[in-house]
Amino acid sequence: MKNQKKIGILLIAALIPFVAINAQHKTKKKKAAAKKTTVAHKPKPAVNTVHAQPVEVSNEAITAAKVVTVTSTFKPSLRNAAKINFTAATPVIDSSRIPLTYNIPSQNLFFSYQPVSIKPLQLSIDTAFHWENDQYIKAGFGNYSTPYLETALAFGDGKKSIINLRGNYVSSKGNIPFQEFSKAGIEGLGVFNSASHEITSKLYYNNNTQYRFPAVTAFPNASKEQLQQQYNLVGFEFGLQNKMASDFGITYHPQIKLNSFFDNKNASELNFILKAPINKSFGKIYAFDLKFTADITTLHTASISSITNNLFYIEPSVQFNTPNFKLNAGIRPSWDNKTYFMLPNLTIEAKIKDENFILQAGWIGYFSKNNYQTLAAFNPYIQQPSLLLNTKIDEQYAGFKGSAGKHITYNARVSFLKFNNQPLFADASGALTVNNASSFAVLYESQLQGLRLHGELGYTVQEKLTFSSAINYTQYTNQQLYEKPWGLLPLELTGSVRYRITKELQLKSDFFFWDGPQYRSPTLQTQKSDPAMDLNAGAEFTVLPKLNLWIQFNNLLNDKYERWNQYEVLGFNVLGGVVYSFR
């Protein structure tokens, strides 16, 4: 029994050191879990520990027990966010310039852009538009005893009716006996609108008076009435057109013209013209065009009871229109005083893509109507005609037209022409009397050919500056009956400038030049007139809201040229006056 107690005491004493070491090891683990820096601790004596016998511990074990190393574990955390500082600061001024390129279309006849197709729609009346009936009177006087008067009046509401009345008068008296002329005219134009149609009408009267003053040389005792060449024209015109194409794509515009032309020597002429064009469109590209024209003339003179000159023709054609190509192909059956002719009617225009350059070509045939009225308008010193023939013209041409930049337009064409029954003007010959001295006889050339060069050039800057010029050069060949094309100009050059310096001041100028025509003298000799040049200039400026002053200079070069043999024009003359507007 005693032995068993001794053995138990010895076992307990042997286990005590192991229990102490295990306790220290657990303490180290608990301290390592805490978040502390490395700290050195002194060993503490075991509590309630019974030592049966002393235990030996090495120096290394004592050192390890005194120093404990604790490593802190990573704990994640959010970074402090930077706060946005809102401050009312002014923007920084940018001194740099951005280059801007503008492409403005040309303000002229040939635009640099392609417009979209236009579909006719009913016009909506703009109630904000106010029609103003303006009236003005222009009066002045100049040297060569030249009074000048012009007036215009406007009536109507501008929506359903527009009526314009105009009148003018001018006369001059030169230094040569009976070197006088006068022109007077009055006309009334009316435009009347309905929901679907527009009616136009015109009533007019014109009077032109001049004298065969070179005849005074051969007949010094001739009276003024014997040398007088006076022409009067009174007429009426009426037209009707639909404002919108019908449901079948048809548009029409019939016109009627009736006028009476008479002189102071018992000659009278009645002219009646009927035009009836109709157009049928097939979509936006194709169209069919049909025109009918009747031109009837009856002339009575002192020596011939009646002369008739009638012309009828029909113009059927097919049209093909695209933005870059246009074609008109048709024929023109014609009846010239019951004689039938088949004339061509072919025109082509082709535009170079993305360029304002258009090629043009054609082969056309047409008639130029000749009557007493048209012949006297071309040469006011003719004798009463005893025969009226219409001129048949066959023209084949090629050329180009277009625009360059924003301001320049051009047109050029070369034509080969064939004339039949072309009127020529020859000085009266044979037994001269006071009634036919210094007059011109009308002759008809049965066949005449010509090569013509035609050119046009224009320059426009908005409404401030406008310049236009044209040239015509014709070389006549292969005449059959007469020696030369008497009275026809081989070269014509014209120019015009309008410049608005300010709203109150406007300048203008006109230029004419032509090479002298061939003419047949009373002795039946062919001669040539001298070249002629005429330069005019004028100005108009505002002095009061309703009052303008104007001045006009004619024949600045004082060139007393002769358009018709023996008929000298007036020299330098100046006119001036006022323009008053009734607004």
pLDDT band at 143; cut points 50, 70, 90 = very high
Question: Which residues are paired to 511 by β-bridges?
Answer: 495, 535
Position 102 pLDDT exceeds 90:
no
Give the model's pLDDT for residue 583: 72
Phi-psi label, residue 207: left if phi above 0, alpha if psi -120 to 50, beta otherwise: beta
Collapsing DSSP to helix, strand or coil, 115 comes out as coil
Position 161 pLDDT exceeds 60:
yes
Give the model's pLDDT for residue 44: 46
The two tokens of residue 385 are 């005609």
- Mean pLDDT, to the nearest integer, of 253-274? 96
Contact 576, 142 (CB under 8 A): yes
Collapsing DSSP to helix, strand or coil, 87 comes out as coil
Give the model's pLDDT for residue 36: 42
Say which residue, 55 or 269, is predicted with more confidence. 269
Question: Would you list the domain boundaries of the chain?
Answer: 1-35
Residues ≥6 apart with Cβ < 8 Å to 405: 106
- Phi, psi of 215, deg, nearest 5: -70, -15
For residues 438 and 222, give the distance between their C-alpha atoms in angstroms, rounded to a whole number: 13
What is each CA distance from 15 to 53, 288, 378, in whole angstroms?
11, 131, 154
Within 10 A of 385 (CB to CB), how many other CB atoms are there?
Answer: 22
Position 61 pLDDT exceeds 70:
no
Q: pLDDT for 116-132, tens place per residue?
A: 444 444 444 444 444 56
Give the model's pLDDT for residue 82: 58
pLDDT band at 113; cut points 50, 70, 90 = very low
Nearest to 534 by CA among 498, 560, 564: 560
Position 72 pLDDT exceeds 70:
no
- Mean pLDDT, to the nearest integer, of 551-567? 94
Say which residue, 45 or 345, is predicted with more confidence. 345
Q: pLDDT for 460-511, tens place per residue?
A: 998 899 999 999 999 999 999 999 999 999 999 999 999 999 989 999 999 9
Contact 545, 452 (CB under 8 A): no
Amino acid type, 279: N
Contact 328, 321 (CB under 8 A): no
pLDDT band at 78; cut points 50, 70, 90 = low
Give the model's pLDDT for residue 134: 78
Q: What is the mean pLDDT of the chain?
A: 84
Q: pLDDT for 392-413, tens place per residue?
A: 999 999 999 999 888 899 999 9
Most confident of the following: 52-56, 155-159, 251-255, 428-432:
251-255
Contact 205, 233 (CB under 8 A): yes
For residues 361 and 325, give the distance between their C-alpha atoms in angstroms, rounded to a whole number: 12
- Mean pLDDT, to the nearest integer, of 343-358? 90
Q: Which residues in 264-421 belong to E strands, given as ranges?
A: 268-282, 286-300, 307-321, 325-336, 339-351, 357-368, 391-404, 408-420
* Residue bearing tokens 């039938």: 340
- Mean pLDDT, to the nearest integer, of 415-432? 92
Give the model's pLDDT for residue 244: 87
Give the model's pLDDT for residue 100: 63
Position 46 pLDDT exceeds 50:
no
Reduced to 3 DSSP states, what percent helix, strand and coil does the chain have, rounded to the nearest 5?
Answer: 10, 50, 40
Contact 365, 397 (CB under 8 A): no
| Share above pLDDT 70 across residues of the chain, in percent, rounded to a whole number | 77
